[in-house]
Chain A
Amino acid sequence: DTGVSQDPRHKITKRGQNVTFRCDPISEHNRLYWYRQTLGQGPEFLTYFQNEAQLEKSRLLSDRFSAERPKGSFSTLEIQRTEQGDSAMYLCASSLFSTQETQYFGPGTRLLVL
């Protein structure tokens, strides 16, 4: 399977714990995006990378959130000191930068903070 993969698919944690999610994009894609989706809403943009450079961060991305893409391949999203409001689906997408750029999404990581 050469699509976008995410790990883990599900994560249950206690409030105050740190969690880390991983995303592996489609191999030839140079852009990688993170989105967050809460129940009944469309995905909301968090941040994106072009190669290893983080080019934009949403105001939704508080200082408890950090994302990396160290070698321009896979990416990690870490949430420190989780809060119940962080419970959501975290979606990763990748694309090849172009005028008709299309983002392809992974299966997502469902986070539940107790």
Chain B
Amino acid sequence: AQKITQTQPGMFVQEKEAVTLDCTYDTSDPSYGLFWYKQPSSGEMIFLIYQGSYDQQNATEGRYSLNFQKARKSANLVISASQLGDSAMYFCAMRFNYGGSQGNLIFGKGTKLSVKP
């Protein structure tokens, strides 16, 4: 069964330091996309970064990078130079490009990141 696992319910990081949020996934499909979203306390899901299963290089978007290890089925999010405004819930999600559930996202349970001043 397709599944996303985020094993860290909560994480603390000091302001200006880097932090890695873990995500592993389970699928036998060859074509899929991996996403990270940020959800502040206001509730809106904010798209951060995307990685396609066939992409050769790790995705980067500003201070966000995705450490994609396909053989290990992991897609960890790295946030560099943490800021107080990074405090939020972070969700890893997966979408399949083919098959019965094409299109919809499957989410993990999330990691709550707290940035300390």
Contacts and interface: CB of A to CB of B under 8 A. Distances in A.
Interface of A: 31, 33, 35, 40-45, 48, 55-56, 58, 89, 91, 93, 97, 99-108, 110
B33 A108 contact: no
B93 A42 contact: yes
Contact of B43 (A89, A100, A104): A89
Given A42-B110, A45-B105, A56-B104, A101 B47 contact: no
A56 B100 CA distance: 9
Contact of B105 (A41, A103, A107): A103
Interface of B: 4, 33, 35, 37, 42-47, 50, 52, 91, 93, 95, 97, 100-101, 103-110
Question: Which of B101, B103, B107, B108 is most buried by chain A, counting CB atoms within 10 A of its CB?
Answer: B103
Contacts of A110: 43
A42 B108 contact: yes
A43 B105 contact: yes
Given A40-B109, A42-B109, A43-B45, 13 more contacts: A41-B110, A43-B91, A44-B107, A45-B106, A56-B100, A56-B101, A58-B104, A102-B50, A103-B47, A105-B37, A107-B43, A108-B43, A108-B45
Given A42-B107, A43-B107, A101-B33, A106 B52 contact: no
8 contacts: A42-B93, A42-B110, A43-B45, A45-B104, A56-B101, A100-B33, A104-B47, A105-B44
